[in-house]
Every structure is written in C-alpha cells, then in structure tokens.
Amino acid sequence: MTELRYNPLLGDWTMVAGNRQHRPNMPKDICPFCPGSGKVPDHYVVHTYDNDFPVLMPDPPEPDPVGSVLYPTRPAKGKCEVILYSPEHTTTLPQLSVEHIEQLINLWTDRFVQLSQDLNHKYILIFENRGEECGVTMPHPHGQIYAYPHVPLKVRVELENCQHHYETSGRCLICDINQEEQRFQQRMIHENEHFFAYIPFFTDYPYGLFIASKSHKTSLSAFSAEERRSLAEMLKDMTGAMDTLFDRLFPYMMVLHQKPVNGEDVEAFYHFHIEFYTPLRGPNQIKYYASSEMGAWAPCNPHAVEETAEHLRQAYRRYQSSNREWKDR
C-alpha cells in the first residue's frame, strides 16, 4: 500500500508507505553506502542514490480502493533520493572540508534543477536527519530529497504569510527578519559575506538555528559560485559549533526552504533559508513535541533564545579556536 490520502481537516495529503515497514535493519558488518558494497560506486565524493524504500515514486501503483468522495486518494507520485555526503562511514558534515561541502551543495543544486523539470513535481525538499534522537538508523553521513506532487502544508502556510507581508508592506518578510536579527544582535550567531546565522525570535526549539541568504534569492539555483562557497563555510561552521556546544554529536533535522516549482511565481516575496529543528535542550535533555505542540500546533520553547544564542555563539568561538590551533600544528 503506497498512496496519498487527503486530510479534509487540514487540506493536506498524508503519505501512506506500507513498503517502508519492510525496511531491514542495517547489518553491523556492512553498509550499503560504503564503497565496495556493490550498491554505490567504488570511488565517489558525493553521490545520489535512489531510495530503496520510497514514499514517493515516479510510477506509483494505483491506490487501494478504500477512498471516497470525502476521503480522496491519489497515487504517491514523486521522487525520493538519498544524497551521500562522503564515502567515509563516520565522517559527518562539520568534519568535511569546505571544498567537499561545496561539491555537496552543487549536487543539491543539480538535483533541484533536474527534479524541477518534471511537471508532476510541485515542491522539492532537501533535508537531513542526524542522530539517534531524530530516528536515524543509518549512521553513514547522508541527507535526502523528496519531490512532492503538492506543496506541503507547513511550506504553504509560510508562503501565504510571506505573500501577505509583501502585499501589505511591499517588502520581503525574511529580508525584514534578517534586518531585525542583525539590528538586535543578541540572537545572531555568525555572519559571513553572503549568509546570516541566527536563532530567530520565534523559534520553538532552544537551538533552532536559521541560516538565511543576505541577498533576496529563492533557491540554490539562483546562487553564484561565491555564494555557494559561502554557504558551505556557514554550514561547516554552524554544524561544528553545534557539535562543540555539548561536546557530542549534536542531533538535528535540517531542512532547506526554497521556492515551489511548476506553480505560481513567488520570486517577489519568498526567500531561501535553512531551518534546523534541534531536539536537545541540554547535553542529555530532550525537548519533546508534546500534546500542545502536536495537537494544537501551539509550540512552547523551554528556553529564551537570547540565552541559548549566547551558548551557541560561545560554542562557535571555541570551534573556531580549536580549528585554528589544529591548522597551526
């Protein structure tokens, strides 16, 4: 059973993927993403791998005959890909060189452009789940790409608010958020030539970092080579700071928010940014999404981000200092 089921309460689609319950546990002595497995090239830097157990597929089966007028179903048409960050089994994002991360960003960009050419695709989500706290069972460094046949609800709400702000003020909402965080400074973690990194005023996670482009651009495909390198530097710096924060692998869900594809023009009011959903609120303390958050979408942050931003800024300084010491050896 693989299909999309319509939720009339939310005006959104639920992906049903019965095939994923048959995913095997990863063997302890072999990784399919490592060279020599027969599943990937023997030599690669970064690599695209079609998901073996996709929730969306180019030629999906017809839905089971369980729907109705109230409950429409649709074939789960789309694409699910795995993006391998490195052939090294335990090397995570902040341990890669800036040049290596540049190649990863170039691959993300190429896949975004290629998947956009399929008119069935309406939104392309590039993301990474990292750490056991985020349900990761495959430790080999990787992310994923989902090409959806619709714009998912959270992105749709974000787009609607960005459009409303533009129509009422004539300005881009995320440009204004960037300016407000730059003015206030206490939530700003770092900035480089082309990107800001801050924990925004409104985030529901104690360390819910945003990385936003300084220029008003809507997708990876709009960035110059210099901007992509700047993004690579920022990703390395911020994920390195996260690992330094509690001196441990820092779990996160990283999501790239870009423009929809094959739909209305959003260039005037939408703006590229990356959101991190970070379940740790302490070295071994989890910030759970409980009944209020899940049942009412009424988020609660257990910490003021003006305090946690200072913690992450200090971690970034320690990370930078340790990097300089290592280079001086």
Largest CA distance in the chain: 69
Q: How many CB atoms lie within 10 A of CB 27?
A: 8
CA atoms within 13 A on the CB side of 239: 27
Q: Where would I find the beta strands (DSSP E) of the chain?
A: 2-7, 12-17, 47-50, 73-74, 79-84, 123-130, 142-148, 188-191, 195-198, 210-213, 252-257, 273-277, 280-282, 285-286
Do 145 and 78 contact (CB within 8 A), yes or no? Answer: no
**Measured between alpha carbons, how far is 147 from 123 in angstroms, rounded to an integer?**
6
List, by residue number, the catalytic residues.
Answer: 142
CA distances from 6 to 58, 73, 77, 146, 147 (A): 19, 6, 14, 18, 18
Do 111 and 50 contact (CB within 8 A), yes or no? Answer: no
Measuring CA to CA, which residue among 27, 72, 77, 40 is closest to residue 56?
Answer: 77
